[in-house]
Amino acid sequence: MIAPFRIGATSFVYPARWLANVERLAGRVDDVEILLFELAGGVPDAAELAALAAWKSRAQLTYTVHTPLDVSLASEDAERRATAIDEVWRAIELARPLAPEAYIVHVYLGDRERDTPPADLAAWRRRAADSLSAILARGVAPEALAIETLDYEFALLEPVVDDLGLSVAIDLGHLDRDARAERALLDRNLHRTRSIQWHGVDPTGRDHRSLAHYPAAKARWVLDVLVERYRGVVTLEVFREPDFEESLALVHRWLGVAA
């Protein structure tokens, strides 16, 4: 079976820059998730962005963009929220030449993953909504912002996604890591999902590893759902070549496609 959705990889499968990764991945995947995790640590320059854009038509590629991690759009600290808005917007502006399918955004319960949940969830939702609205007001379509499922029950944030008309990025690896129910979340959100991030969790608890660590029975159920109902991108969200090769081979096997 040829997958009815696009299979993607990250821009850091190989220990090289964005363009070198795309050059090696072109023809093997349909989408590349351009990782802009830390803008201060370096970003593609104009020449590299132009070369990345050229690969879209050359290899029939699409791009998704992952915005910075060290941001806190719903922080109780107003200065941190303002900085987060600026950082996410910088990533969006930087990546515009790539005409990405989606910009993936984190909204933490606190200032980072694994923070203590806020005492006032309604106030947290208001802060998240205000920050996301500020980003939209600068000139990006609501459906282009895909809010990622992280380390908490995503239903807490779904009212904000509903009200602003945003998209979703479902991280299946996070759901498995945290033993959260996939079926209900997919049922509620698959229609507005632009990106599905898939990876395994190794025996040490480290995520973003090969799908060899993802339960095989669950993987077959997930693929049945995606084949029937999903036409976006499924990103093998791993950051090492062995994990990518093993994951890609497994997806091909599960889909009944020769690797």
Q: Which amino acid is at 129?
A: A
Tell me how far apart the alpha carbons of residues 49 and 245 are, in angstroms, rounded to a whole number.
Answer: 26
* pLDDT at res. 47: 97
Q: Tens digits of per-residue pLDDT, 114-142?
A: 888 899 999 999 999 999 999 999 999 99
What is the average pLDDT across 205-214? Answer: 96
Secondary-structure percent of the chain, ordered helix, strand, coil, rounded to 5: 50, 15, 35
Mean pLDDT of the chain: 95
CATH architecture label of 6-255: Alpha-Beta Barrel (3.20)
Is residue 55 within 8 Å of 25, Cβ to Cβ? no
Tell me how far apart the alpha carbons of residues 85 and 87 are, in angstroms, rounded to a whole number.
Answer: 6
| 259 pLDDT tier (thresholds 50, 70, 90) | very low
Q: Report the phi/psi class of residue 205: left, alpha or beta, with left for phi > 0 and alpha for psi in -120 to 50.
A: left
Tokens found for residue 199: 């990876």
Is residue 17 within 8 Å of 44, Cβ to Cβ? yes
Angle (CA) 38-69-88 rounded to 5° is: 80
Element (H, E) at 171: strand 167-171
Q: Tens digits of per-residue pLDDT, 131-178?
A: 999 999 999 999 999 999 999 999 999 999 999 999 999 999 999 999
> What SS3 state is found at 235?
strand
> What SS3 state is found at 200?
strand
Is residue 235 within 8 Å of 33, Cβ to Cβ? yes
Q: Is the pLDDT of residue 27 over 90?
A: yes
Which of 167, 154, 225, 221 is closest to 195 using CA atoms?
167
Q: Which amino acid is at 40?
A: A
Read off φ and ψ for residue 114, nearest 5 degrees. 70, 10
**pTM: predicted TM-score of the whole model, two decimal places:** 0.95
Q: Tens digits of per-residue pLDDT, 52-80?
A: 999 999 999 999 999 999 999 999 999 99
Tell me how crowded residue 159 is: count the other CB atoms within 10 A of its CB. Answer: 13
| 257 pLDDT tier (thresholds 50, 70, 90) | low
| 2 pLDDT tier (thresholds 50, 70, 90) | confident
Maximum distance among all alpha carbons in the chain? 52
Q: Where do the structural domains in the chain lie, given as residue ranges?
A: 6-255
Q: In this predicted model, which residue has the larger pLDDT, 143 or 256?
A: 143
Tokens found for residue 161: 């996604």
Tokens found for residue 249: 């081979």
How many whole angstroms from its chain centre is CA 210? 17
Cβ contacts of 186 within 8 Å, gap of 6 or more: 170, 225
Question: Residue written as tokens 């997930």?
Answer: 222
Q: What is the torsion angle, in degrees rounded to the nearest 10, for the CA atoms of residue 32, residue 48, residue 92 and residue 16?
A: 50
Q: Is the pLDDT of residue 258 over 60?
A: no
